[in-house]
């Protein structure tokens, strides 16, 4: 669900909701929030830390309270269960894609703000949690609010964590500027703003990490409409699928993937693919400073060495180095022993074509 930008709001107020006590499995969240914030109004956006949603929903895993191998093993098991796909690992850091589709350190599993004998998992379906809280609040209070469920997240390239949305109801995840024209007549290329992430961030500014302010209210962003907005698609529209993402894997993991691709490069024959120019070949081979002292002549000619089987062994290594260098630059290749090969002289024929038609074995 996206919505075309209206005029920007006149002002927002961001209010902490204090006095929400301990939340445990079965706590009726709507009730404790309404008790703590009887001043809620139609159109308010309720920004709710996922931690209390998870605790109310009983998304807890029992673990040995003392640090040690047993606690680590229980934690690893919980992480494995919450992980759809590993993304990057370094030291104790495990960044994974969860079953929801979010990419988070430790799958969002957290040991803070819970007694030491439990870990807190993310809600199973944070959008459903947001819808339920919204519906419960409407029933209890008559107020029509939007709900954003948040988690605290690290990100590449920038230090420091920020709160982002992992669930939502009654509000569009994205504000759409496509089709708008600026004062100079330019089409806007900045297209979609992740407003529920920005609301999550605004809410975090008045929440505390330790002083029990797990809920904030942003007032003024949505109109005080008489007609309740539909629940909408939740936070799901913010999930970028791995195929369209330029960073689906950590750099170290992707490098290892490239090396595995090198190990298993198909021998050929070449199927499809556009021709490769001499310039492209030269550029690709420029990355090979000196491979076995072999001078390559590609595209039909043979590059021969005469001599012993030991020379042939070295030539074989060089052939594969060459093919890896070509593949790195998007050039597929096939090789075959030359037709003049004999016990005393061996030759190799390497043929090339542009990658693209053939599947990438690294993916």
Question: Which 72-111 residues touch its own copies, going by CB under 8 A?
Answer: 88, 90, 93, 95, 97, 102-103, 110-111
Q: Which of 64, 86, 228, 341 binds its own copies (CB under 8 A)?
A: 341
Question: In the range 209-238, which residues lie near its own copies by CB under 8 A?
Answer: 209-213, 218, 221, 237-238
Element (H, E) at 251: helix 251-263
Q: Which one of the spans 3-11, 29-37, 131-139, 269-277 is the region binding its own copies (CB under 8 A)?
A: 3-11
Smallest distance, its own copies to C-beta of residue 136, A: 25
Beta bridge partners of 304: 347
Question: Which residue, 138 or 292, has its beta carbon nearer to its own copies?
Answer: 292
Q: Which one of the spans 31-39, 130-138, 139-147, 304-312 is the region binding its own copies (CB under 8 A)?
A: 304-312
Could you tell me the sign of the dihedral formed by the alpha carbons of 45, 49, 55, 57, in that order? positive
Q: Which two tokens stand for residue 162?
A: 């920020």
Q: Is 66 in the site for its own copies (CB under 8 A)?
A: no
Q: Which one of the spans 119-127, 132-140, 224-232, 338-346 is the region binding its own copies (CB under 8 A)?
A: 338-346
Rounded Cα–Cα distance for residues 196 and 149 (Å): 9
Total of residues contacting its own copies (CB under 8 A)? 130
Residues with Cβ within 8 Å of 302's Cβ and at least 6 positions away in sequence, in order, are 338, 339, 340, 347, 348, 349
Site string for its own copies, 250-269 (x = CB under 8 A): xxxxxxxxxxxxxxxx----
Could you tell me the sign of the dihedral formed by the alpha carbons of 286, 292, 295, 297, in that order? negative
Rounded Cα–Cα distance for residues 175 and 181 (Å): 15
Q: Which two tokens stand for residue 122?
A: 């993310």
Question: Which residue, 70 or 182, has its beta carbon nearer to its own copies?
Answer: 182
Question: Which residue, 53 or 102, has its beta carbon nearer to its own copies?
Answer: 102
Question: In the range 25-64, which residues lie near its own copies by CB under 8 A?
Answer: none
Q: Is 348 exposed, middle or buried (0-12, 13-18, 19+ CB in 10 A)?
A: buried
Q: Is 352 in the site for its own copies (CB under 8 A)?
A: no
């Amino acid at each position: 669900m996206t919505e075309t930008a209206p005029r920007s709001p006149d002002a927002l107020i961001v209010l902490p909701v204090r006095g929400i006590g301990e939340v445990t499995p079965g706590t009726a969240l709507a009730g404790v929030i309404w008790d703590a914030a009887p001043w809620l109004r139609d159109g308010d956006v309720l920004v709710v830390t996922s931690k209390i949603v998870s605790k109310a929903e009983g998304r807890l895993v029992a673990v040995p309270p003392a640090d040690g191998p047993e606690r680590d093993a229980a934690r690893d098991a919980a992480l494995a269960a919450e992980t759809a796909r590993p993304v990057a690992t370094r030291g104790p850091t495990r960044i994974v894609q969860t079953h929801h589709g979010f990419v988070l350190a430790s799958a969002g599993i957290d040991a803070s703000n819970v007694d030491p004998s439990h870990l807190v998992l993310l809600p199973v379906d944070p959008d459903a949690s947001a819808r339920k809280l919204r519906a419960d609040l409407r029933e209890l209070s008559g107020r029509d609010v939007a709900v954003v469920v948040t988690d605290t997240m690290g990100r590449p390239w920038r230090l420091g964590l920020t709160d982002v949305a992992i669930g939502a109801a009654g509000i569009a995840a994205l504000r759409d500027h496509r089709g708008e024209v600026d004062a100079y007549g330019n089409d806007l290329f900045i297209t979609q703003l992740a407003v529920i992430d920005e609301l999550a961030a605004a809410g975090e500014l008045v929440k505390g990490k330790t002083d029990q302010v797990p809920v904030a209210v942003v007032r003024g962003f949505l109109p005080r409409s008489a007609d309740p907005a539909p629940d909408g698609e939740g936070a799901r529209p913010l999930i970028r699928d791995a195929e369209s993402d330029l960073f689906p894997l950590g750099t170290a993991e992707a490098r290892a993937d490239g090396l595995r691709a090198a190990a298993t490069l198909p021998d050929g024959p070449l199927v499809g693919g556009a021709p490769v120019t001499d310039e492209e070949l030269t550029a690709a081979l420029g990355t090979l400073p000196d491979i076995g002292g072999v001078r390559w002549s590609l595209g039909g000619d043979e590059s021969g060495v005469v001599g012993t089987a030991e020379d042939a062994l070295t030539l074989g290594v060089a052939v594969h180095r060459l093919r890896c260098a070509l593949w790195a630059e998007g050039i597929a290749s096939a090789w075959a022993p030359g037709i003049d090969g004999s016990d005393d002289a061996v030759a190799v024929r390497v043929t090339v074509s542009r990658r693209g038609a053939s599947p990438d074995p690294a993916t």
